[in-house]
Amino acid sequence: MNSSELKKALESFNYPDIDRSLGDLKLLGEIKVVNNSANIELLTISDDSYLNVKKLIEENFSTKFDTLNITKKSLAKKDTNYGNSSNPNNRAPYAKNIIAVTSGKGGVGKSTVSVNIAIALAQKGFKVGILDADVYGPNIPRLTNTDLQRIKWDDNDKIIPAENYGLKIMSVALTTPTMDTPLVWRSSVAVNALIQFLEDVAWGELDFMVIDMPPGTGDVQLTMAQELPITAAVLVTTPQLVATDDVSRAVMMFKDINVHMAGVVENMSFFIAPDTKNRYDIFGTGGGEKIAKKYEIGFLGGIPLDMNIREASDKGEPPVALGNDTIKEYYQNIVSNILDNTDFNL
């Protein structure tokens, strides 16, 4: 069996327990057969995925070659000389401006807001990339209809980002065999993966990089502030007290690390009944505006609790791109306020 025959055979094998082949998942790198010795490179970041595929190959090909050498694509060791928030490194010199979208707690629609902000910026003619830094709950591929794509490398050994809706997109979810593959990583591993996505992805020149942060005030937020000159932070909350309590902590974190805050977005702000057109403040009212006033930062706008937004987002059809004019306007107005509240490099 020569190199091309082995590659063709491997591409046809299904990944264990799912109905997609190794070829479909883009998990195969360089494959060479020399003197009945097979060298197979796997393109996977996850150790679990590597071991699963390695076992599959060994079970089917170990008797067909004198030696079977299965390796994971080696990655250049990252510089771990971290910066600090008062004098951060710049691991994304290709991006003129960096917007960090964060929240104090999960479940407030931060990722949905991130995607629609990024697309609204692209609609204005800017070159925009979005980095999914929510490593343990990566939703950006689902929201941008890129969840079936998997990473590839270009000729310069850079990862090629996914693209849709005028955005360049990178997420750890694009590196796993399936969307439900868990990443049981310590925070140091997650941080190193994000640094790789900043430095080893072929982003090209960007006017804006939007970073969808994980909820809370942990390692990822601190590391991004140390490794990137963040131009502005956008804080997402719902009106209810539990959410505003948590976003208050995020506000104080950004104050402590000297990151400018463009303002607060109040998501799920109100509900308009489709039959009666009556307004209901399901999660309370005015929480986002109170936070903005208390900490003297901008209030960027409110977004309603709307079934059309939820359904479109689940289908990977961002409302600001494919929704009706009323829904589009919510996000477009927020982006206009972000641009007005921050001195961006344009």
Percent over 70 (pLDDT), the chain: 96
Most confident of 59-68, 75-84, 86-95, 126-135: 126-135
Percent over 90 (pLDDT), the chain: 59
Instruction: Write down the pLDDT at residue 323.
Output: 93
Instruction: Write down the pLDDT at residue 94.
Output: 97
Going from the C-alpha of 11 to that of each of 17, 22, 25, 35, 267, the distances in angstroms are 16, 5, 9, 22, 44
Q: Is the pLDDT of residue 76 over 60?
A: no
Mean pLDDT, rounded, for 80-101: 84
Per-residue pLDDT reduced to its tens digit, 261-304: 999 999 999 999 989 989 999 988 888 999 999 999 999 999 99
Instruction: Write down the pLDDT at residue 107.
Output: 86
The answer to whether 169 and 95 are in contact (CB under 8 A) is: no
Output the six-digit token pair for 236. Answer: 């997402």
Separation of alpha carbons 302 and 320, rounded Å: 14
The answer to whether 206 and 83 are in contact (CB under 8 A) is: no
Instruction: Write down the pLDDT at residue 123.
Output: 97
Over the Cα atoms of the chain, what is R_g? 22
Q: For residue 85, what pLDDT band results from cuts at 50, 70 and 90?
A: low
Q: Is the pLDDT of residue 171 over 70?
A: yes
Q: Is the pLDDT of residue 224 over 80?
A: yes
Per-residue pLDDT reduced to its tens digit, 227-249: 999 999 999 999 988 888 888 88
Q: Is the pLDDT of residue 181 over 60?
A: yes
Amino acid of residue 121: L
Q: For residue 77, what pLDDT band results from cuts at 50, 70 and 90?
A: very low
Instruction: Write down the pLDDT at residue 91.
Output: 92
Instruction: Write down the pLDDT at residue 82.
Output: 62
Per-residue pLDDT reduced to its tens digit, 210-222: 999 988 777 888 8
| Residue 192 exposed, middle or buried by CB count within 10 Å (0-12, 13-18, 19+) | middle
Q: 322 Cβ partners below 8 Å, 6+ apart? A: 312
Instruction: Write down the pLDDT at residue 315.
Output: 95
Q: For residue 16, what pLDDT band results from cuts at 50, 70 and 90?
A: confident
Instruction: Write down the pLDDT at residue 78.
Output: 52
The answer to whether 190 and 183 are in contact (CB under 8 A) is: yes
Per-residue pLDDT reduced to its tens digit, 320-340: 999 999 999 999 999 999 999
Instruction: Write down the pLDDT at residue 157.
Output: 81
Per-residue pLDDT reduced to its tens digit, 198-211: 999 999 999 999 99
Q: Is the pLDDT of residue 46 over 70?
A: no
Instruction: Write down the pLDDT at residue 168.
Output: 98
Q: Which residue has the higher pLDDT, 89 or 48?
A: 89
Per-residue pLDDT reduced to its tens digit, 108-148: 999 999 999 999 999 999 999 999 999 888 999 999 999 98
For all residues of the chain together, what is the average pLDDT? 89
Mean pLDDT, rounded, for 38-54: 83
Going from the C-alpha of 307 to that of each of 133, 199, 268, 273, 324, the distances in angstroms are 26, 38, 11, 10, 13
Supply the pTM of this predicted model: 0.77
Distance of CA 233 to the CA centre of its chain: 16
